[in-house]
């Protein structure tokens, strides 16, 4: 069955460092992958979309890579700030895409000043 895995352990880093979060998936080949940010008590907010023919995408301090051979995406936040503390979710369209997205469990990032 199709599966998305994100590190369930919280990631704690010091302000100014680069945070790297991992998303692994199995048993399918999605046309694209998305990353969302979720703050406590709020709905997820879209951050970046990367397509299968793109190796890397950047937006300000964010960088996403997509390795379709390894079936993995890495999400980087450079020069991290306490305001970056949140839960980050990766999401993929399932096989036989009907328009919905399947979400990973999310990784909580805590940036300490």
Q: Which residues contact another protein (rule: CB under 8 A)? A: 32, 34, 36, 41-46, 49, 89, 91, 98-106
Q: Nearest distance from residue 70's CB to another protein, in Å? A: 22
Q: Nearest distance from residue 103's CB to another protein, in Å? A: 4
Residue among 77 and 91 whose Cβ is closer to another protein: 91
Q: Nearest distance from residue 53's CB to another protein, in Å? A: 14
Sheet strands side by side (includes 3-6): 3-6, 19-26, 72-77, 62-67, 56-59
Residue among 89 and 109 whose Cβ is closer to another protein: 89
Phi–psi pair at 20, nearest 5 degrees: -125, 120
Residue among 16 and 39 whose Cβ is closer to another protein: 39
């Amino acid at each position: 069955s199709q599966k998305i895995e994100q590190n369930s352990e919280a990631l704690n880093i010091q302000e100014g460092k680069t945070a790297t979060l991992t998303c692994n998936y199995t048993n399918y080949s999605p046309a694209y992958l998305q990353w969302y940010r979720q703050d406590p008590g709020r709905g997820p907010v879209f951050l970046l979309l990367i397509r299968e023919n793109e190796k890397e995408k950047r937006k300000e301090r964010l960088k996403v890579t997509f390795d379709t051979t390894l079936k993995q995406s890495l999400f980087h936040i450079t020069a991290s700030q306490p305001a970056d503390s949140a839960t980050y979710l990766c999401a993929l369209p399932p096989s036989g895409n009907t328009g919905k997205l399947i979400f990973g469990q999310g990784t909580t990032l805590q940036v300490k000043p």
